[in-house]
A and B are shown apart, each in its own frame.
Chain A
Amino acid sequence: MDFGPFLLLALMEGMVMAAVLALTAVGLSLVFGVMRVVNVAHGEFFMLGAVIAWFVTHYMPGPPAVGFAAALVICPLIVGGIAALSDTLILKRLKYDPEATIVATIGLSYIFQQAALTFYGPDARPVLAPFDLRIQLPWFGYSGYKIAVVFAALAILMAVWVLITRTRAGLIMRATQLDRNTARAFGINVDRVYAAVFALGAGLAAVAAVLIVPIQQAHYLMGHDPLLLSFIVVIIGGLGSLRGTLVAALVIGLSDGVISVFFSPTLAKILATLLVAMVLVFRPQGLFGAKP
């Protein structure tokens, strides 16, 4: 294939990856920014979103689009609910101690993974895309659904931005992030905010999974890669900075797409990890994070 079409395919694949990565990483970044919690179970929330999407689309009658639309609404709600429960029952009891929460979220990730294995099984199962459109370019064909994923992710990210910057709920979140004690002094129920933010972070991962599941398949081990990549993105972008997360997701997603297509996916992963190492050495607060 010639260089031009090669690059176009690489960029299109990269955009899809960046879109889903942005959604997942923003969830992780929010949780860390507001709660200062490193959520190792974040990848499993992603996997749960995909697995629950399979259940919803499997049991919902009608054309695939109906099931998919239902999954887009139901999955984030359920996964967010599970996250809120985890926060109230476990993380709150640990008083959000940094080391303890890491261990607790590792434990949670094992529980979710094995629960998926027990109730969903070890197989990868496909979920039908809501519509079947193939775009035929002169050099290759491409799935129209993948392009739709990019736009959907953009829309959801816009909605999150509006939520955080323009609504009262977002104001409360930002206040709690700035100074927890002063926020409490102003009458903000910090515990409830934390549960809500944890739920929102998990919900974003679940939505990303629902968008990706018609492209890949739902499998109980699918949370590992998104977890790793989200951490890479959040560290490079700067913990707690949403803008940094978005920029880093774009950089990592596009570079992964381009390097994977022109060289190999392994090299892309090597370079991404190398980038994290460089950032940690030379600019530990990340691209946009606040200096420690």
Chain B
Amino acid sequence: MTKLIGMTPSRRSLLKGMAATASALALPGFVQAQSSAPIKLGFQLHRTGIGAAYGRWYERTTQAALKVLNDQGGINGRPVEVIFEDDGTDPKRGAEVVEKLASQAGCDAIFGPLFSHVVIGSAPRAGELKVPYLVCSEGFHVASGKLNRWTMQPGITDVRAQVTAMAPWVSQNLGKKITMVFPDYAFGHDHRDYFTAAIAAQGGEVIKHIAIPPTETSFTRYLPQIPKETEVLYHVMVGPAVLTFVKELGEFYGTGARPEIFGFIDSLEAVDTASPGLEFLEGTHFWEGHCRVKQADASEHETFYRAAVGVDDNGASISDGKDVATYAHMFSCWETLFMIKAGMEAAGYQSTADRQKFVEAVEAMTTIPASQAHPQGDKVFNGKTHQVFGHQFISKVESGKLMRVHTTSIEDGMYPDAVDYTTMAF
């Protein structure tokens, strides 16, 4: 074979070359001061699947909050990036998304999921990977102790607190014999278990529980089970078919006699209360986590928040009046992002090595006043149960619009701690 002069490497130079390349690859990719590298947050988004309506608004709210956060200088002077991944509102995919965001994308923390079955299916993985996992769900699963010390819910109140706060008003104003209609999975079971207990404490009684699969599309067949003696029909429903559920409820009663109706706005999130077929809702009451229609005493923070996210005074998108917001839930994304900022700044967060310090810093938080970062209202965070507590609202449908008639105090929704995560290992 022809020997190419000067081009055939000797073994020594080959080994030197390989050592040099290896050490070059081991150096960091860019030589930049650690303090200005962006903070990466993962967002587990329900972009498709049964939670898609919520996912659409969760993404918008998060983008709006992110812009405000970065305009104000980010976290510790570092810009913040949010990486969105679709989990299809599926528990199995949720766990994979957690893995992808934590391992592949190298996110400092993950937040965002809502549907309780997805949260329960994904949180264990976050615990295994030791990544802070801040859920924007409503389930009681965080505060129940079922999950792990890395999982927290600092941005939205839980169902147990909500129904505990609702029971006194319902029994005093609507009636004492209740029939409950709820979706047959974790979130619905929280309603069933804790409202039944709360109303019993008020001297009332749930006379019938009607559980409906969350993927159901036809509801009339369940309605004959509602007993004649029902004084209050309590309904909460989720999924793409909620409009069908409420419409069929109206068709079933028609112009005949009907009990008082108390619903959770979940049954109408992203649905216009003035939709055809919903006229029977006039005069009925709803729990709202955050009032969809801008009330007369709205704070400046509320006004700022609405404008930033792009929601008009009726609770629909500014650019499309038919695109109604999931207003009672989406504030959780905004408030959680600002809780992450507060926690990271309190912990002096530098890198993923400080994740544990971040969780401990959030656990140390107690009173949270209403502010631009917390437009839904003032809150109290329970570091032991990893759950935040806040005000709940009851609204009445008047001329097709939800008008607030009652605000609960934070204490109305409190219940004994079921767990102390601070005693658990990380």
Residues in A lying within 8 Å of B, measured CB to CB: 1, 5-6, 9-10, 13, 17, 117, 121-124, 126, 128, 132, 134-136, 138-143, 215-217, 219, 222, 225, 257, 260-261, 265-266
Q: Tell me the nearest residue of chain B to A141, going by C-beta.
A: B254
The contact sample of 30 A-B pairs, CB cut-off 8 A, is: A1-B226, A5-B224, A6-B224, A9-B220, A9-B221, A13-B220, A121-B52, A122-B49, A123-B53, A123-B56, A124-B241, A132-B276, A134-B251, A134-B254, A136-B254, A136-B255, A140-B224, A140-B252, A140-B254, A140-B256, A141-B251, A141-B256, A215-B218, A216-B218, A216-B241, A217-B243, A219-B240, A222-B217, A260-B221, A266-B213
Give chain A nearest CB distance to B174 CB in angstroms.
22
Inter-subunit contact A217/B240 (CB<8 Å): yes
- Closest beta carbon of chain B to A207's beta carbon, Å: 18
Contacts of B228 in A (CB 8 A): 1
Tell me the complex Cα distance, A119–B250, Å.
32
B37-64 to A contact mask, C-beta < 8 Å, 1/0: 0000000000111001101100000000
- Among B218, B223, B224, B270, which residue has the most Cβ atoms of chain A within 10 A? B224
* Interface residues as binary, B247-278 with A (CB distance below 8 Å gives 1, 0 otherwise): 01001111110000000000000100001110
Q: Is the CB of B244 closer than 8 A to any CB of chain A?
A: yes
Min CB–CB distance B74 → chain A (angstroms): 32
Compute how far the CA of A141 lies from the CA of B213 in the bound complex, rounded to whole angstroms. Answer: 23
With both beta carbons as reference points, the residue of chain A lying nearest to B277 in the complex is identified as A132
CB-contacts of B215-236 with A (<8 A): 216-218, 220-221, 223-224, 226, 228
A215 touches B48 (CB 8 A): no
B241, A265: Cβ atoms closer than 8 Å = no
Q: Are B240 and A123 in contact (CB under 8 A)?
A: yes
Contact between B224 and A1 (Cβ–Cβ < 8 Å)?
Answer: yes
A288 to B81, CA, bound (A): 63
- The residue on A at minimum CB distance from B270 is A123
Question: B253 — which chain A residues lie within 8 A by C-beta?
Answer: 140-141
Are B217 and A122 in contact, with the CB atoms below 8 A? no
Query: Which one of A117, A135, A215 has the greatest number of beta carbons of chain B within 10 Å?
Result: A215
Known contacts A123-B240, A124-B241; A216/B256 CB under 8 A: no
A222 to B240, CA, bound (A): 10
In the assembled complex, how far is the CB of residue A240 from the closest CB belonging to chain B, in whole angstroms? 30
Shortest Cβ distance from A12 into B: residue: B220
Q: What residues on B are CB-neighbors of A13 within 8 Å?
A: 218, 220-221
A265 touching B213, Cβ below 8 Å: yes
- Among the listed B52, B216, B221, B244, which residue makes an inter-chain contact with A123, where contact means beta carbons less than 8 Å apart? B52
How far apart are the CA atoms of A131 and B30 in the complex, in Å?
A: 65
The CA-CA distance from A177 to B216 in the complex, in Å, is 38
Q: Which of A128, A217, A265 is within 8 Å of B276, CB to CB?
A: A128
Contact A9 B251 (CB under 8 A): no
Using A122-B47, A122-B49, A222-B217 as known contacts, list a sample of 5 further A-B pairs with CB atoms less than 8 Å apart, ordered by residue number in A. A1-B226, A1-B228, A13-B220, A126-B244, A140-B252
A residues less than 8 Å from B224 (CB atoms): 1, 5-6, 9-10, 140, 261
Q: Please report the C-alpha to C-alpha distance between residue A268 and residue B342 in the assembled complex, in whole angstroms.
A: 52
Cα–Cα, bound, A118→B224 (Å): 38
Taken together as a complex, chains A and B put the C-alpha atoms of A122 and B87 apart, in Å, by 13
Q: Which of B7-57 contact A (CB under 8 A)?
A: 47-49, 52-53, 55-56
Nearest A residue to B211 via CB reads A264
Contacts of A134 in B (CB 8 A): 251, 254-255
CB-defined contacts of B218 to chain A, threshold 8 Å: 13, 17, 215-216
